[in-house]
Amino acid sequence: MDVMATRVDNGVNVEALLGARQALTEAPEAARFKWRATCNWVNGTHSRSTVHSFFGLGAEQSHKTEFGYDADHPEVFASEDKGATPVEFVLVGLASCLTAGIATVAQNRGIQLRSVKATVEAGMDLQGILGIDSDVRNGFDGIKVVFDIDADASKDDIAALVAQSQRRSAVFDIVTNPTNVSVEVR
C-alpha cells in the first residue's frame, strides 16, 4: 500500500480547530466562553443536574439536546445510589478531557488511533470530609490516570501525545491548579 495515500482519521476535524484558533487569535473577545450547569436537589443526597446552554463566540449557544446527570452517594454511605458520586464526575471530566485531547493531538500529528482507554483512580481519606482530622484535606490526595493506547506510533510518540494532551487540557488545569470559586445565595 502506498504510505502517502494512508489517511489518518480519528474523527477529529483538525482543519476546523486550526481555523478556529486562527480566528480567535484575531478576535480574542469571541474566545471568551461561559460554561453552565444547573443542579436540582431530588431527595437525600440524590440530585439531578442538567447541561444545556453556554456562551461563546460572542453569543448564546446551546447543546443539541439537554443532557441530564443523576448524582448520589453509594449505599455504603447509607444513600440510595441513584447515580455516580460527585467526585466520580470529576474523574469522568478529567478522563474524557484527556481522551478528547489525545484524539485531537493524534489527528494533528498524523497518528492513527485504534483504541484509547483511560483508567482513572483517585485516593481520598474520608477523615477529611467527616471532620475527624483537620490536617486531612477533603478532596483527593492524588489522581492516577493510566492510558492503554493502540496506535500507529512509537512508544515515545504515544508518550508525547499523552503529555501534550495534558498540556492543553482544561480539566487537567482545573484539577492541578487553584481556581477562585464564589458561591452565593439569591
For residue 101, which of 53, 54, 20, 161 has the smallest C-alpha distance? Answer: 161
| CB closer to other proteins, 42 vs 174 | 174
By the 8 A CB rule, do 71 and 92 touch?
no
Q: Which residues bind other proteins (CB under 8 A)?
A: 28, 141-142, 156, 159-160, 163-164, 166-167, 172-173, 175-178
Instruction: Please list, in sequence order, all residues whose beta carbon lies within 8 angstroms of the beta carbon of residue 17, skipping any fewer than 6 positions away.
Output: 104
| CB closer to other proteins, 66 vs 121 | 121
CA separation for the pair 92, 102 (Å, rounded): 15
Q: Rounded to the nearest whole angstrom, what is the least distance from the CB of residue 160 to other proteins in the complex?
A: 5
Q: Rounded to the nearest whole angstrom, what is the least distance from the CB of residue 135 to other proteins in the complex?
A: 13
| CB closer to other proteins, 11 vs 28 | 28
Q: Rounded to the nearest whole angstrom, what is the least distance from the CB of residue 65 to other proteins in the complex?
A: 34
Q: Rounded to the nearest whole angstrom, what is the least distance from the CB of residue 88 to other proteins in the complex?
A: 19
CA separation for the pair 99, 86 (Å, rounded): 20
| CB closer to other proteins, 31 vs 42 | 31
By the 8 A CB rule, do 96 and 116 touch?
no
